Structure 1
Amino acid sequence: MTAPLLTLRDFSVARGPCDVLRDVSLTITAGECVGLIGPNGAGKTTLMRAALGLMPARGHSSLSALDRLVRARTVAWLPQQREIAWPVSVETLIALGRNPHRAPGHAPTPEDSKAIDSAIARMGLESFRSRAANQLSGGEQARVLIARALAQQTPLLMADEPAAGLDPASQITLMTLFAEQAAAGDAVLCSMHDLGLAARHCTRLLVLHRGQLVADGPPAAVLTADLLAEVFQITAHFAQTPQGPVFQPLGVIR
């Protein structure tokens, strides 16, 4: 049986006297493209940051227990804040994803160059290679930082709202890439607000509501009318079509 890439057990996070995440237990294994969904303030970003060891937590996270270098070779992290401040080239910034794989000060190896070139090609950034990364548009900067995460070539990729700020074609391309990454044997965990993208491209959905994990399973089993009403206060149309699952929010329950 394949070893889990992320395990949380009785995992809680507090801010001040209040728990913002309470007793979450889950496991993510190779081959899964997992969408983490829930309303604003449900705890999605908190869960991922705490699981990575970036903020204090109670309970067990298999990632935060790892040595830093081992963790950097296990998981690539794409945070929600994606403005690039450094006046470096796109290629130089993407090459930072290779840092966990080489000693400081050493020149890129052929394997590093291959990973960088692959990430650039997968995100359609060939014509941007030599441009200053901080001079690109917000959507272009997002694609560069996604490419940096891909160049890291870790078995697990965690991304906080990776489709935010991208145009529809780029959103579909990105989620298709994530699904292909999982199908090839890696795993992806990404927080999302677009339930249509989540339903169409994720193999599994985790639903956070008021700091607790309230649903976990395939999109068709999770996105029920009752859950949508209770967690999101919406009605929606969800159908299986010859082109794949289609999910469309319809109205707000007042």
Structure 2
Amino acid sequence: MRSTTGRLLRGSAVMLTIFWMLLVVGGTSIGPIELVPLLGVLVVGLVAYTRHVRRTSGPPRERTPPMVRHPRGRKATLWAVICGIALGATATTAVGAYAWATAGPRIDPDAGPGAWGSMPVAAPATVTSDGGDLCLDGEGTAEILDVVPVGALNGMTVTDFGLVAPDPQPDGSVVVLADASAPLHEVVEGRRVVRTISHRCHEREGYLSFMVELRKPRPGEARVRGLDVTYRSAGREHTVRIDADLVYCDPRPGRVSCEEG
């Protein structure tokens, strides 16, 4: 088809193909926002198909002599078709990019996670810190891939990490971290350590505590001022910074906290 109807049909097919490809790459479901350009493309295609059926199903019509055609009208129609296809493709691309960027839940850094404290510890030593409760801002799961210390002093590094359920006690209380001066596998005391989050921030039960194991390699004051947590959600990697201020100083008789000087 070389007519305007053919151009409309081809343009609609191209826009539909682009739209579905972006949705598949984005890995998201179709919602009200995604339906707007889709419905627009379907309307254009339906109008084009209806025109094509009407022109081909009836008896042959007498062709208009070339001398009475209006080239300006044909050019205006062609430009209108081109502009419609361009606008539809732009809207489809924008919606697909939005869906790609926002797919999957995110870790909410303002929902309570954080690590603070000071403790004398003789180097070399491996210690564990409670980073608080990590939760998601929506339904789904996220897998923690890596944890990197921010503002680390005196060679402090993260050697292990994971999510651990609190340990309920007979008196009704719970224990999250019984001994911060021990490695992670000793602190959990048989509790399961996972790296996948599914807990949503508005839910009161089912949370897991974020545990971080750190290594102090040599004597002297060591410090960590934050934790960069890299995780994967809906096939894409993100990094969120968790507030922290952890200080590990050298022990001496009678010293309980590094703040004592």
Q: TM-score, normalised by structure 2?
A: 0.20
Max Rg structure: 2
